Amino acid sequence: MNNRVFCILAALLALAGCATDPAPTEQLRLTEQALVQARAVGATELLVDMQLAEQKFALAQKNMPEQDYKRARLLAEQAELDARLAEAQVLTSKSQEQLTALNARITRLRKQLGDLQ
Amino acid sequence: MKRLDYRCATALLGFVLLTGCAGVEHSQQELDAARVSFQKVKHDPLVLRSAPLDVVRAGEALTRAEGFSGYWGSSADVSHYAYLSLRFSQIASEHSLLLANQERLAALEQERQRLQQALRDAKLLSVQQQGQAQDEQMVSLTRTQLDRGLVMTLSDVLFEPATASLNASANRTLLKLVQFLQLNPRRIVRIEGYADNQGSQAQNLQLSVERAQEVANVLEDLGIDKKRLQVQGYGEAYPLAENASRRGREQNRRVEIVFSDEQGNLSPPR
């Protein structure tokens, strides 16, 4: 039993270094904003990077009450960029779809014009 | 007791390794990957134009990662900043793809408008050449039905036999339709395809959908907003005449255009 207590204490000591970090409240807010924006353009967890972002953000939030601030900050920083990348990917693929549709329309117009001549 | 000791020691050792040496090699790989990505975006003019800030951030994060890589025991920080740098580079290049697509879209949109105008002119010309004589053939009926509102029928002769392609004699009708829809911007239409009962049901349904879609496509090409056009295929349902005679079947093969009222209220599909 004593050993278990020692074990836990040792782990807490190892974490003590991180506890001196200030609480990354602002970073968590930024990350959440990035996630909201990514979801707004239609990013879902079907996208690997969006999944990463959601998971890391959830972990970061979990680390906050545990006062593991350094870990929370790192996770939140990564999650913010994961979400921004996912958002950019969605926008790119949407514009790609628009291009495909527009190209198809132009081909159709050309064909009709050709038929008339 | 002994076993617990062992487990505790392993756990602690694992923790030390995690933050210490085991990560070094891995973090070096991540650093290299971040460097490669940054090199790629750093000199790409399109990337610099579309996401200059992200490129700068990628560079800053890379510098921090490289700074940490000089210290023993900071491989977790190296990994972290290498990761951030890589992400910034990826975001920057994604934005450059987006910008390239947007510029291409703008150019194609101009091309589309030019072609659309050319098509309208060409159709008008072909109508003028055809003269009035074929008018009757084209619009066989425009009538008001109690439950459905104003309905216009495009008869089978406007299509190439057994295909969904409209032939040149359809131009007059379609131009009139376009003109009408442009004068009544709030009206929407449902374009309904029908077939006779020759051949399989599935084929008939498909042909009826394809013909209705073709009419919608042409209307769109002539400048009608796609949102105003609903498309529905009914296959061999709702025949106008018996399918026993050739003439009856010809009447059943048709496309009907159901108009909404002036407020845009369309009768529900059958």
Does one domain contain both B121 and B143? Answer: no
Taking CA–CA distances from A94, the nearest residue in chain B reads B98
Q: How far is Cα B110 from Cα A27, in angstroms, rounded to an integer?
A: 43
Using pLDDT thresholds of 50, 70 and 90, give the confidence band for residue A3: low
Instruction: Tell me the CB-side half-sphere exposure of residue B147, using CA atoms within 13 A.
Output: 3
- pLDDT of res. B140: 46
Q: Chain B contact for A107, CB < 8 A?
A: no
Q: How far is Cα B135 from Cα B126, in angstroms, rounded to an integer?
A: 13
Q: Is residue B3 part of a domain?
A: no
Query: Has residue A14 got a pLDDT over 60?
Result: no
Closest-CA distance, A115 to chain B, in angstroms, reads: 9
* Contact between residue B68 and residue B28 where contact means Cβ atoms under 8 Å apart: no
- Number of folded domains in chain B? 2
> Complex ipTM above 0.90?
no
Does one domain contain both B237 and B152? Answer: yes
Q: If chain B, 270 residues long, is cut into consecutive pieces of 10 residues, what is the mean pLDDT of each piece?
A: 53 50 76 95 94 96 93 89 97 96 96 90 76 46 74 85 84 84 90 93 94 93 93 94 90 92 88
Question: Directed axis angle between helix B52-69 and helix B22-42, to 10°?
Answer: 150
Q: Chain B contact for A6, CB < 8 A?
A: yes
- pLDDT of res. B217: 92
Query: Has residue A83 got a pLDDT over 60?
Result: yes
Cβ A95–B98 below 8 Å, yes or no? yes
Cβ B108–A14 below 8 Å, yes or no? no
Domain ranges of chain A: 2-116
Does one domain contain both B122 and B235? Answer: no
Does one domain contain both B143 and B255? Answer: yes
Does one domain contain both B249 and B176? Answer: yes
- pLDDT of res. B229: 96
Q: Which amino acid is at B226?
A: K
Least confident of A17-21, A110-114, B115-119: A17-21
**The pair of three-digit structure tokens given for residue A95, joined into one six-digit string:** 């514009």
Q: How far is Cα B147 from Cα B151, in angstroms, rounded to an integer?
A: 11
| Most A-contacting residue of B57, B60, B98, B120 (CB-CB within 10 A), to test interface | B98
Closest-CA distance, B137 to chain A, in angstroms, reads: 20
Fold of the A2-116 domain: Substrate Binding Domain Of Dnak; Chain:A; Domain 2 (1.20.1270)
Q: Which of A7, A92, A98 sits opposite B94 (nearest CB)?
A: A92
Task: Measure the CA angle with vertex B77, ends B73 and B82; round to 5°.
Answer: 130
Where among B98, B130, B162 does a domain terminate? B130
- pLDDT of res. A96: 97
Q: Is residue B150 part of a domain?
A: yes
Q: How far is Cα B246 from Cα B265, in angstroms, rounded to an integer?
A: 36
Q: Is residue B266 part of a domain?
A: no
Beta bridge partners of B191: B231, B257
Q: Is residue B223 part of a domain?
A: yes
B132 SS3 class: coil
Closest-CA distance, B61 to chain A, in angstroms, reads: 12
Cβ B94–A89 below 8 Å, yes or no? yes
Does one domain contain both B150 and B252? Answer: yes
pTM of the model: 0.67
Cβ B11–A7 below 8 Å, yes or no? yes
Does one domain contain both B67 and B116? Answer: yes
- pLDDT of res. B157: 80
- pLDDT of res. B55: 96
- pLDDT of res. B1: 44
- pLDDT of res. A21: 80
Higher pLDDT, B146 or A44: A44
Does one domain contain both B202 and B146? Answer: yes
Does one domain contain both B168 and B118? Answer: no
Chain B residue numbers with beta carbons less than 8 Å from the beta carbon of A14 are 12, 15
Nearest to A74 by CA among B83, B208, B143, B28: B83
Does one domain contain both B117 and B216? Answer: no
Q: Is residue B143 part of a domain?
A: yes
Q: Is residue B54 part of a domain?
A: yes
Does one domain contain both B191 and B98? Answer: no
Does one domain contain both B149 and B253? Answer: yes
Show the domain range for B193: 138-259
